Amino acid sequence: MKKIAILNGPNLDRLGKREPEIYGRATLADLEKSLRAEFGKKAELDFFQSNHEGKLIDKISELADAKPDGIVLNAGALTHTSIALRDALLGAKLPAVEVHISNLYKREEFRHRSLTGPACVAVITGLGLEGYFAAVRFLLKS
């Protein structure tokens, strides 16, 4: 059975409450439940969320040693600012898929640039929560 880590960054603990017109009404717990229902027999899913850049980097370092089959990462706003997170992804040498719920290119211009995307094998943006499902499906096939 493949092992896939699903990492969520700042403010994603507020899903369902924060800007539901952009991110929807489902919570992070709802997403986890749905992903487990869909993929529970195909993959061992490890979920982690933090509002702190260093904790996400620590988690990626742990994963580099544990060697899961892949990472699904929604780094939130850190996508656009964190060279350290990018370096952690590159150093982990694990296939990662960057996911964004909203379409970054329909939002503010500063969101159009991803520092972490080039450290990933793919980037999915604008599919809502379905982007997580697409990312897991992709990693399962890899």
> Over the stretch 61-112, which tens digit does the pLDDT of each residue have?
999 999 999 999 999 999 999 999 999 999 999 999 999 998 887 777 877 7
pLDDT at position 77: 94
pLDDT at position 110: 72
Give, for 51, the enclosing helix (H) or strand (E): none
pLDDT at position 83: 98
Q: Is 132 a catalytic residue?
A: no
Q: In which band, very low, low, confident or very high, does the pLDDT at 12 lie, cut at 50, 70 and 90? A: very high
Helices 83-92, 53-66: inter-axial angle, 10-degree rounding = 10
CA distances to 46, 68, 137, 138, 140 from 82, in Å? 23, 23, 27, 25, 27
Measured in whole angstroms, how far is the alpha carbon of residue 65 from the centre of its chain? 19
Measured in whole angstroms, how far is the alpha carbon of residue 78 from the centre of its chain? 11
Query: Domain 2-141 maps to which CATH number in 1.10.357.10, 3.40.50.9100, 1.10.238.10, 3.40.50.1100?
Result: 3.40.50.9100
Does the pLDDT value for residue 18 go beyond 90? no
DSSP letter for 7, please: E
DSSP letter for 5, please: E
pLDDT at position 142: 86
Catalytic residue among 52, 80, 100, 132: 100
Q: Is 80 a catalytic residue?
A: no
Give, for 100, the enclosing helix (H) or strand (E): strand 96-100
Asked if residue 71 lies in contact with residue 97, where contact means CB atoms within 8 angstroms, the answer is yes
